[in-house]
Structure 1
Amino acid sequence: MTTANLVFIVMLIALASYWLGIQRSIKVAGGKQQVKDLVSLPSQYGLLTAFWCGIPAILFLLLWSAIESSVIDSLLIDKVVLSADGQIQQNMGLIVNNVKLLAEKITLSEDISSATDIQLQNAQFFIALNEKATWLKTLLTLVIAVGCVSTILAKIKHSFHARNNLERIVSGLLFTCSGIALLTTIGIVMSVLFESISFFSQVPITEFLFGTQWSPQIAMRADQVGGSGAFGAIPLFVGTILISTIAMCLAIPVGLMIAIYLSQYATKRIRSIAKPMLEVLAGVPTVVYGFFAALTVAPLIRDFGLLIDLPIAAESALAAGLVMGIMIIPFVSSLSEDAMTAVPVALKEGSLGMGATHSETIKKVILPAAIPGIVGAILLAVSRAIGETMIVVMAAGLAANLTFNPIESVTTVTVQIVSLLKGDQEFDSAKTLAAFALGLMLFITTLALNIAALKIVRKYREQYD
């Protein structure tokens, strides 16, 4: 039985144990009319029984899945070594993989006429090990689930505090989830950091941070021309900032004006129609925006440039930035509108009661009070702009040009990360390791934005608390 099927069965047992826990508590109380004499509610006894059934069984399955493959491989290696008549095996990993492939062919009833007797014996041994492991896993999982249910049902009495035990379990689950999130974040940072350190051991950090030439090509042989590699990331940083700035110059004012209209001026009917339609833009895949930028916006900008005798590149930062700004507008408008709607009505009515006009109330009261939410919306929009890839690939190009001119072709950090890691790559050269260094720079930039936003939010929250 597969692990997925076992998890499903454990869930069914847990569901049944929930009902058993409730019935057991009612029986202990002496009937439904006497459940008030219990120190906890019947549903709490049921939930506690279900948790006691599911959690230990699921944890056992996770532990089993983590060690099953290693144990089976170890037993298989012992078998292979014994069958080799004491000869030292230099390619044990390859031999084990061949045994597994042969076992898969046997399972699928494929042709195995080319296999030797020893190989067939090893494959049959591997199949037998897997079958025994599956049956043992199934048996132990069911025993643990049923045993835990029986144990907790036996403990249900008048004085048994199911609620306290249930709250401790829930607190433990919440703590575990928080710990997993924290450890995942640390793991991501450490993996990027260690690979970046490997990159900086090959390329000076000063060259990476302050170099103006980006051509991450590594020579495959000593006499190769043009393969020395240049890892100056300044053109990538400038391109990222340029496109993100163009996007934010469109998204922030337009998004805020939309938010102000929807939250302060629009009727309920208009808001109920306009906001969902606006939020549809947030669900459009970025590759569709890329098509729109490459096939519609970029040609329009280029044709307009020809009319005024201004040469504009076919793939320009302006086209990518404008389309990216359109994509980001729903993030700014929707979150800002929610922040303005959440401002207490008493602040608005007090301002109007003092004689302020509607526009003055919005500018002097509502916007400052909603600053924490607006800053959060803008921060999310900036992060979205910095991390965008498809629109830049399709509308701005791949050329790492050092320019602040929005009508020229540029590229961004994320686009280069994708370019460096395309295809089968070995993480042992400066070319591939450069992607991790770029990722580290993105992480540091996002962290700095978060810190700045927290300071702004804290400052205005103290004024309006």
Structure 2
Amino acid sequence: MSDQAALIGGAADGQGAGGSVLVDPSFLWRRKLKDRIARVVLFLSASLSVFVTAAIVYILITESMSFFEVVSIWDFLTDTQWTPLFTDAHYGILPLLSATLMVSGIALLVAVPAGTVLAVYLSEYAPAKLREAIKPILELLGGVPTVVYGYFALLFVTPLLQKFMPGLNGFNMLAPGLVMGIMILPYVVSVSEDAMRAVPDTLREGAYALGFSRFHTALRVVIPGAFSGITAAYILGMSRAVGETMVVAIAAGQNPNLTLNPSEGAATMTAYIVQVSLGDLPHGSIGYQTIFAVGLTLFVITLLFNIIGFWLRRRYREVY
């Protein structure tokens, strides 16, 4: 308001004989200075995330290069045993990779259908008051500490599943996968519902005018129109599931096991990182460097998921 007042006052006092308006030079200088400061602050804020990401990638690559000088990439990707801390050391990432994808896949089988259905309901069917009541409840699920989810999977979900599956191990991949599906549900629902509500109402009205029911409008108009945001929700949920640590470390076990049976226990990549990080391995040892090799693999997997999501969004936009 002070700048506006100065501008108005300067304009009123500085009118020339010909009616031209004279602006105080000091006001223009202050305005340009504020604009430059704002640009610098915004640029530094935007650059911070890029710098942090670049620093993480640099550390992962440099530390992993020392590891791959001792272990070949072929053995790392093809060996079926992961025993880096044993006397007979093996460095095959496949047991950790299979367990990570298995648990994340189970989580997505829970979160994607349930999240999509719930997002459609909140966007197209739920009254405004009910929607505003349900969304905060879902947001609370995202605020629960992951260690609580881990013990919930170990002490409640696993015994419950054992009543229906007597042969289920105490440490297994099924229980943490189901719990992780509940854990990432708020991410899928919130992002998907926001994307669906962003679809213009004119598209819905056009579908109703053609005789579409509300269900067919949601299925054939709203979901295709919000496909970009829905895909982002799925990718976000998948990345969250792949990077989850405490749930799998507590409920899935820490024994690297190459298996496709979800009723057995296995160690994921994040669980192994926690296991080794809590130990007393000397810095620079081959066992210590496995953390960065596994972390780099996890980073590459997440990057691939994001590339696939970007490709799907681009291809969908070309078609529709």
- Structure-1-length-normalised TM-score: 0.63
Question: Is the alpha carbon distance of 1:413 and 1:158 closer, same or farther for their aligned partners in structure 2, counting shifts above 3 Å?
Answer: closer
Query: Aligned letter for 1:34?
Result: G
Matched, 1:184 2:47: no
Q: Shift of residue 171 of structure 1?
A: 1.3
Query: Aligned letter for 2:118?
Result: I
Residue of structure 2 aligned with 1:233, choices 93, 102, 111: 93
Aligned ranges 1:21-420 → 2 under 5 Å: 34-36=9-11, 157=25, 160-217=28-85, 227-306=87-166, 311-420=167-276
Asked whether the 8 Å contact 2:232–2:309 carries over to 1, the reply is: yes
Asked whether the 8 Å contact 1:37–1:158 carries over to 2, the reply is: no
Query: Aligned letter for 1:455?
Result: W
- CA distance in 2 between counterparts of 1:163 and 1:331 reads 41
Q: Shift of residue 427 of structure 1?
A: 2.6
Counterpart of 2:296 in structure 1 is 440
Asked whether the 8 Å contact 2:111–2:185 carries over to 1, the reply is: yes
Q: Shift of residue 423 of structure 1?
A: 3.8
- CA distance in 1 between counterparts of 2:191 and 2:180 reads 18
Question: Is the alpha carbon distance of 1:305 and 1:172 closer, same or farther for their aligned partners in structure 2, counting shifts above 3 Å?
Answer: same
Matched, 1:430 2:286: yes
1:175-223, Cα deviation, whole Å (9 max, x unpaired): 2233333222211101110100000111111111111111111xxxxxx
Q: Shift of residue 228 of structure 1?
A: 3.0
Q: Shift of residue 355 of structure 1?
A: 1.3
Aligned ranges 1:1-16 → 2 under 5 Å: none
Larger radius of gyration: 1
Q: What runs of 5+ residues in structure 1 fail to find an aligned partner?
A: 1-18, 40-155, 218-225
Asked whether the 8 Å contact 1:203–1:430 carries over to 2, the reply is: no
Higher relative contact order (Cα pairs below 8 Å, separated by 6+ residues) = 2
Q: Shift of residue 238 of structure 1?
A: 0.3
SS of residue in 1 equivalent to 2:262: coil
- Structure-2-length-normalised TM-score: 0.91
Q: What runs of 5+ residues in structure 2 fail to find an aligned partner?
A: 15-23
Asked whether the 8 Å contact 2:172–2:251 carries over to 1, the reply is: yes
Asked whether the 8 Å contact 2:281–2:287 carries over to 1, the reply is: no
Q: Shift of residue 159 of structure 1?
A: 6.5
Query: Aligned letter for 1:288?
Result: V
SS of residue in 2 equivalent to 1:403: coil
Q: Shift of residue 231 of structure 1?
A: 1.0
What is the Cα-based RMSD across aligned positions, in Å?
A: 2.2
Q: Shift of residue 157 of structure 1?
A: 4.3
